[in-house]
Structure 1
Amino acid sequence: MADDIIKQLPLLPLRGLIVYPSMVLHLDVGRDKSVKALEKSMVEDNKIFLASQKEVNIDEPRKEDIYRMGTIATVKQMLKLPNGTIRVLVEGLDRAELIQYKEDEEEFFLVEVEEISEDHGDKLEEEALMRTLLEYFEQYIKASKKISQETLATVADIDDPGRLADIIASHLSLKMKDKQKVLEITNVKERLNHLIELIHNEKEVLHLEKQIGQRVKKSMERTQKEYYLREQMKAIQKELGDKDGKTSEVAQLREKIEEAKMPERIEKVAFKELDRYERVPNNSAESSVIRNYIEWLISLPWTKETEDVLDINRAEKTLNEDHYGLEKVKERILEYLAVQKLTNSIKGPILCLVGPPGVGKTSLAKSIAKSINRHFIRASLGGVRDEAEIRGHRRTYVGAMPGRIIQGMKKAGTINPVFLLDEIDKMASDFRGDPSSAMLEVLDPEQNSTFSDHFIEESYDLSNVMFIATANNLGTIPGPLLDRMEVITIAGYTEVEKLHIAKEHLLQKQIKENGLSKGTFQVKEEALLKLIRMYTREAGVRNLERQLASICRKGAKMIVANEKKKVVVTEKMLEEMLGKPRFRYGQAEEKDQIGAATGLAYTAAGGDTLSIEVSLYPGKGKLTLTGKLGDVMQESAQAAFSYIRSRAEELNIDPNFHEKNDIHIHVPEGATPKDGPSAGITIATALVSALTKRAVRKEVGMTGEITLRGRVLPIGGLKEKSLSAHRAGLKKIIIPKENEKDLEDIPESIRNDLTFLQVSHLDEVLKHALLEEPGK
């Protein structure tokens, strides 16, 4: 290998082009720096250094934008063209590496380059690689058809392996970085190996391109052939009058459309779509969409309806058999039936049953359908966020379907079912729309006769449907939607009602499900009452049913294991079967107490008694409230305290008591949050008792709110509170005068056992609740 030589030459940057040694080619030069570099080379010895730019789109390349490996070339010829550019004929001589840029030349790049000699290895190995490269190049020419056979003949005559590699590289369709890499490999053996690998990859790509082209061609030919044959088959079927194939299918659909008894406008739409379906090829995506749409139109009920059994007595009997209590709901259903019987035409009512879980809202809707002989359909709306769930999807979407309303009508098969919209308060809205707004049209009696579903597109009559919605919480139902429904509140069951439900429905059901019978298994009434009071605390009866199921299973085990013929569950046996009681309920005081009054509270699980205690001790008038009281109860305590201060003399209390004593008001069970506007008179009574040392009568319970002037305001939940008072053993209940109207809701057996004292002022409360003489 000859010694490397360092030369100083002008640099001509090339765009999108690489010149290898031994290559002769024309270049068009137009940039000022490049023209001056050519002029410099012509003045000197016609030598110039050619190096490529890294990025083609740079007009004024800097030093870092130019590759350092390039080619020393001789400028053979220069010709100025009319457009101002210069056409140059150059011949590549040797590889060279740029060492440094000379800073004294600013008009063009003057660089120092080191001439690089090629490294040769074993001649026989290089000869073998040359032959392999030529063979691969020949195969590449045949596959690409972009290089002529004359080029192959010219290349085949080259004996020098390095020059052969360079010439072949110049003819290949390679990326700039791959061509530059070939230039930078000075070892001839490595260069030959690298080119063989590049040509092999290019051959694979060309082969794949050819395969893809053939596959596309075959697919197009097959589609055209199928279309032609299908058209021929249609013509043959038409000539023969053959009913097979799509012709037969269309005839069947036409027959079904006629049988569906659709309204005239809907029938026209169905026949129009059927004509389209007949014209569209079977393998077309549109064909299945049209077919699906026609089938939905056929399957929907348009005129079929069940005949209502408008027998009021029968309906009332059915409702009473299935449900105990719920008088207002039953009364509303019977009113609807009575009006329908008289008028023979009425828009379906839209009822909304609101109440805690487990009170029988869903089962009541089933009973309504059964009582009037209508089909029953249920759609659960819990978690529905997409408006399309109600209104359906447009037919343009893949997998489009009607909404839940139309789907429900298809399942019902009649135009007048009882349609239950379960958990309507749990619908949500997000970026997919607001389903509660879509429900407005469904539930508006003035609009639902022309309900529009996006999939069906034609209006559908929902005016004969009896919609019943259920909800746990009215607060989450939007106002406009709530306005379209008749709300019936089911507050929950009282103890008496739960006892009847357990005896007449739940226990019988569980005895049957657990393989028992009335002759082998019984539960005493006092045991049922204890189960309701001590083992469940709920508004509904779900947990009660679970506990009854548990008792039945344990009874079945006793019968099988101990070979008993009969098991009778008593009050004492409950603890053996279910363990210690889980809950407790308030009890009346055993003695008359000073500073302690019994209030009546309403909870989600029914009524309960609430003891309010007041303690005095020397201080400076600080009022302390404990027992996790809500804002309303704290305000009631403040109002009672202010009222007593204003009436201290009339009540025989030291007017300066608040300056000498600190007062602590406590409601036991501090971990349980308590709030509500009915504890005012109880707190006031306990305060007066503590301040006057007059004991509160042990048999008296009370409920009512107080004002700063001592007036007693009405409260809610009197029925539940009365039941809790009766259960706790109280004899008298002090209630606001304005709650007199609610007494008729209280069961007669409870009214007979309790004395209701109606008051309108706190003075009357104190008269009934406190003993006359101060005691210990």
Structure 2
Amino acid sequence: MEEIIAPPMNIIVERKAIDPEDLIKENPILPIKNMIFFPGVPTPISVARSKSLKLVQDVQKAKGIVGVFCQKDTNIDDPKFNDLYSVGLVVQIINVIKEVSEGITILLMGVHRVHLEEITMEDPYLKGKFSILKTIYPSKSDKEFREQQKVVKNKLLHILTSKIGIPDFVVNSLKQSKDYDYLANLAFITVESSMKKKQEILACDDLKERYNKLLSLLEQESQLVEIKESIRKKTQMDINRQQKEYFLQQEMKNIQEALGGNIHDIEIKEIKEKATKIHFTSEQRIVFDKELKKLGLLHPNSPDYSTQMNYVHNILSLPWNAYTKDNFNLARAKKILDKDHFGLEKVKDRIIEHLAVLKLKGDMKSPIICLYGPPGVGKTSLGKSIANALGRKYFRMSLGGLHDEAEIRGHRRTYIGAMPGRIIQAIQKAGSSNPVIILDEIDKVGNDYKGDPSAALLEVLDPEQNFAFHDNYLGIDFDLSKVLFIATANSLSTVSPPLLDRMELINVSGYIMEEKVEIALKHLLPMQLENHGISKFLFDIPRKTMEAIIEFYTHESGVRELNKKIAKILRKVARTIAENIDYPRKLAIKNLFEYLGVVEYSKDKYESNEYAGVVTGLAWTAAGGEILFIEAGLSKGKDAKLSLTGNLGDVMKESAILALEYIKTHASQLDIPETLENWNIHIHIPEGAIPKDGPSAGITMTTALVSAFTGRKVKSHLAMTGEMTLRGKVLPVGGIKEKILAAKRAGIKEIVLSKENQKHVEEINDIYLTGLVFHYVNDIREVLDIALLF
């Protein structure tokens, strides 16, 4: 079998002229496989078949010519006429390059294209007759053909320069060559393509057409070369980058060793040293050592390394079993609480009781206190005072708008960006295992598809469970039983019942005028003077002026709005001082318009009892207690229609219907002169833009209707609140303290309440009750006897 070897492009051989008469004679035929010869290019091949070896020996002796034709089927070892392509080359055997045991390598030079006419002999090798094929050359003026030749040359050089092993002098000699026929034939041999396509090109007589086909093959070969070159460069780039990273890492390692060791090892060593100072339990120590060992096995470039490092640091940052010492000086604690907050006696007493138990027992699971009441009464700031009184660390955690359970329990470490829950974060920031943590706005916790945070708080706030609180991120139980949790809420209606069951509820009601004045003068004004950089000797607000600010510029149970008004005044004072403008050192009531503008609120005043059917009621709102006026009017009509206006809720509407039904049932006993069927009844509660609801206006509406039907006026300076049943029984209602404060502000002197509300009144400090007379009733008839005049 003949093996084709790449042509030696550095060998230049002159073609010997062949007499056409020699071709008519019988000449040897050398069949070859997988190779197409083209004229003018010396090409080495290996000869191994016995017939071919005999042919080479005879031709070499006779110095004759040989016809070379390519086989159609490479698997045939003894080809015949039909097994060969009809177009081949007449070649000269230039030299025997190499002899081996299996055959020889010879150098052939193609001379002319020929057509195989017939085979005349088959042994000892093939002989036959063939004729020269003429080539059709383009005209010398054909510019397109000249450009084709140049393009072929450029494409060939591009392909050769990309091949490995081609000497530079060969490429340079080809660049300088002007023999375009030789370059074209060399390109035919060099380009990689099928034998069938190359045979078609060899058989093409039109040289221009032959160039067109060659250019198509060269273009394909050129694109393949570019793709291979691109892949080679990318591969080389990756190798270079890897080598660069390797050398940089080795360099970094050398630097680290020069500085005292590997940074990774140094970090692990520092972590171990810190861990020795932490008071882990045996179980906690086992878990920590396991996680630290896992960190040591990770490579610093591993994506899990930073996650594991953060986890270990989170464990180290927690104050495991580290507690601050409680201060059991009850006198000092009471002094701090009184200094920071005026009033709130019930809350203060509860804290002192807690300290007393701790002092006697030495250890007690901290109870969960929930302070609820209107905004601005000092629920949140009270927690800081408690922490100061106990000598504990303090942390405030706002729960308003929280709707993801993971915010409480933490995220699992498998998630990207996982972190501990807010409870563990609070412990970390507080720096001790027994801080005071304020759970602010616990009534505003929401829930969605991510879970119910209030359910997660059950474990946090249950003393029977929180000694082993489990955070999803931490994975180690943490003891929260020594933490004093204080929750705050504006309303308990939105807090889940199981959560309420775990807390001790303490109502922080609104302040009366006297308390607000004291808070403003002792706390708010000095604080705002300091915040605005004004000395207490340069400005002051007298007590009477402060009362006017509270009465006409605020409308709240707490003092938050009052604090804003004081800040507004001091901003204007600061400007006048900075501009060297004269200003009053003591703010008078007459100057309030200049500093605060027009009066924003009119004082709730009692309206006279000049008209029958008008009764003063008491209501509770989020801003504290208020008085409201219930008006009943009658008009002649056939339908006896009941109209209710004033933006009333369903419960209040039901109270009105119930009151009317009671009156219809007991009309004769109430001395109502005419039948009710002849009257249209209208009940109105002023300030219709404000929603109103609740059952506490039941006795007030009944009194207003009876007053309207009988024409009897209501006793002056009297207000009432209470729910009524269909039988006329008066039931207790809530918000008693706030309602009493509203009555005092409005100038009310007498209040009618349910007999069962008497216990709530007795719990109120006497300072709130001064100047008021209370009537405790069980039945609506008692209310009417007290309220209506004859």
Scaled by the length of structure 2, the TM-score of the pair is: 0.71
Q: What does residue 239 of structure 2 align with?
A: 217
Q: What does residue 31 of structure 2 align with?
A: none
Between the aligned partners of 1:639 and 1:192, the Cα distance in structure 2 is 108
Q: What does residue 721 of structure 1 align with?
A: 739
Q: What does residue 381 of structure 1 align with?
A: 399
Counterpart check, 1:643 vs 2:662? yes
Q: Deviations over 1:536-594 (max 9, x none)?
A: 22333221101011122333445565754752223332223212112223322235322
Q: What does residue 546 of structure 2 align with?
A: 528
Between the aligned partners of 1:443 and 1:465, the Cα distance in structure 2 is 10
Matches within 5 A, 1:294-693: 294-558=312-576, 564=582, 566-620=584-638, 621-656=640-675, 658-693=676-711
Q: What does residue 725 of structure 2 align with?
A: 707
Query: 1:226 Cα deviation (Å)?
Result: 7.5
The 1:761–1:276 alpha-carbon spacing in structure 2 relative to 1, beyond 3 Å, is closer
Query: 1:277 Cα deviation (Å)?
Result: 4.2
The AA in structure 2 aligned to 1:313 is: A
Between the aligned partners of 1:615 and 1:122, the Cα distance in structure 2 is 120
Q: Deviations over 1:693-745 (max 9, x none)?
A: 22222222222222222222212122222222222222222222221112224
The 1:573–1:233 alpha-carbon spacing in structure 2 relative to 1, beyond 3 Å, is closer
Between the aligned partners of 2:353 and 2:141, the Cα distance in structure 1 is 111
1:753 alignment partner, SS class: coil
Between the aligned partners of 2:608 and 2:412, the Cα distance in structure 1 is 72
Query: 1:748 Cα deviation (Å)?
Result: 2.4
The 1:453–1:201 alpha-carbon spacing in structure 2 relative to 1, beyond 3 Å, is farther
1:474 alignment partner, SS class: coil
Query: 1:612 Cα deviation (Å)?
Result: 1.6
The 1:263–1:197 alpha-carbon spacing in structure 2 relative to 1, beyond 3 Å, is same
Q: Is the 8 A contact 2:468 2:478 kept in 1?
A: yes
Query: 1:417 Cα deviation (Å)?
Result: 1.1
The 1:714–1:294 alpha-carbon spacing in structure 2 relative to 1, beyond 3 Å, is closer
2:321 alignment partner, SS class: coil
Query: 1:388 Cα deviation (Å)?
Result: 3.7
Task: Say which is worse superposed, 385-394 or 725-734, in terms of deviation.
Answer: 385-394
The AA in structure 1 aligned to 2:637 is: G
Query: 1:679 Cα deviation (Å)?
Result: 1.3
Q: Is the 8 A contact 1:144 1:206 kept in 2?
A: no
Bigger Rg over Cα: 2
Q: What does residue 95 of structure 1 align with?
A: none
Q: Is there any run of 5+ residues in structure 1 with no aligned partner, and where?
A: 1-24, 26-75, 79-87, 92-119, 173-186
The 1:652–1:269 alpha-carbon spacing in structure 2 relative to 1, beyond 3 Å, is closer
Q: Deviations over 1:137-186 (max 9, x none)?
A: 663576589xxx9xx9xxx999999xx99x989779xxxxxxxxxxxxxx
**Aligned pairs, how many?**
641
Q: What does residue 103 of structure 1 align with?
A: none
Q: What does residue 789 of structure 2 align with?
A: 771
Counterpart check, 1:208 vs 2:230? yes
The 1:591–1:245 alpha-carbon spacing in structure 2 relative to 1, beyond 3 Å, is closer
Between the aligned partners of 1:121 and 1:513, the Cα distance in structure 2 is 101
The 1:668–1:255 alpha-carbon spacing in structure 2 relative to 1, beyond 3 Å, is closer
Query: 1:496 Cα deviation (Å)?
Result: 3.6
Query: 1:375 Cα deviation (Å)?
Result: 0.7
Counterpart check, 1:739 vs 2:735? no
Q: Is the 8 A contact 2:192 2:221 kept in 1?
A: no
Between the aligned partners of 1:253 and 1:295, the Cα distance in structure 2 is 8
1:641 alignment partner, SS class: helix
Between the aligned partners of 1:426 and 1:137, the Cα distance in structure 2 is 80
Matches within 5 A, 1:117-156: 123-133=142-152, 135-136=154-155, 139-140=158-159, 143=162
Between the aligned partners of 1:275 and 1:202, the Cα distance in structure 2 is 53
Task: Say which is worse superposed, 468-477 or 344-353, in terms of deviation.
Answer: 468-477
Scaled by the length of structure 1, the TM-score of the pair is: 0.73
Between the aligned partners of 2:372 and 2:427, the Cα distance in structure 1 is 24
The 1:137–1:426 alpha-carbon spacing in structure 2 relative to 1, beyond 3 Å, is farther
1:719 alignment partner, SS class: helix
Between the aligned partners of 1:231 and 1:574, the Cα distance in structure 2 is 74
Query: 1:753 Cα deviation (Å)?
Result: 0.9
Q: Is the 8 A contact 1:520 1:566 kept in 2?
A: no
The AA in structure 1 aligned to 2:552 is: M
Query: 1:363 Cα deviation (Å)?
Result: 1.0
Q: Is the 8 A contact 1:559 1:566 kept in 2?
A: no
2:603 alignment partner, SS class: coil
The AA in structure 2 aligned to 1:215 is: M
1:567 alignment partner, SS class: coil
Percent of aligned pairs with the same amino acid = 44
The 1:127–1:404 alpha-carbon spacing in structure 2 relative to 1, beyond 3 Å, is farther
The AA in structure 2 aligned to 1:256 is: K
Between the aligned partners of 1:547 and 1:242, the Cα distance in structure 2 is 62
Query: 1:369 Cα deviation (Å)?
Result: 0.5
1:459 alignment partner, SS class: coil
Q: What does residue 273 of structure 2 align with?
A: 255
1:672 alignment partner, SS class: coil
The 1:190–1:474 alpha-carbon spacing in structure 2 relative to 1, beyond 3 Å, is farther
Q: Is the 8 A contact 2:723 2:731 kept in 1?
A: yes
Q: What does residue 53 of structure 1 align with?
A: none
Q: What does residue 310 of structure 2 align with?
A: 292
The 1:278–1:233 alpha-carbon spacing in structure 2 relative to 1, beyond 3 Å, is farther
1:307 alignment partner, SS class: coil
Between the aligned partners of 2:460 and 2:149, the Cα distance in structure 1 is 83
Query: 1:343 Cα deviation (Å)?
Result: 1.0
Measured on the aligned residues, the alpha-carbon RMSD in Å equals 4.3
The AA in structure 2 aligned to 1:730 is: I
Q: Deviations over 1:666-715 (max 9, x none)?
A: 11222222212111222222211221122222222222222222222212
Between the aligned partners of 2:515 and 2:438, the Cα distance in structure 1 is 25
1:131 alignment partner, SS class: helix
Between the aligned partners of 1:643 and 1:121, the Cα distance in structure 2 is 127
Q: Is the 8 A contact 2:614 2:704 kept in 1?
A: yes
Matches within 5 A, 1:168-207: 203-207=225-229
Query: 1:224 Cα deviation (Å)?
Result: 6.4
Q: Is there any run of 5+ residues in structure 2 with no aligned partner, and where?
A: 1-33, 35-70, 74-82, 87-138, 165-169, 196-208
Q: Is the 8 A contact 2:576 2:583 kept in 1?
A: no
Between the aligned partners of 2:578 and 2:241, the Cα distance in structure 1 is 73
Q: Is the 8 A contact 1:415 1:465 kept in 2?
A: yes
Q: What does residue 773 of structure 2 align with?
A: 755
Task: Say which is worse superposed, 348-357 or 242-251, in terms of deviation.
Answer: 242-251
The 1:171–1:412 alpha-carbon spacing in structure 2 relative to 1, beyond 3 Å, is farther
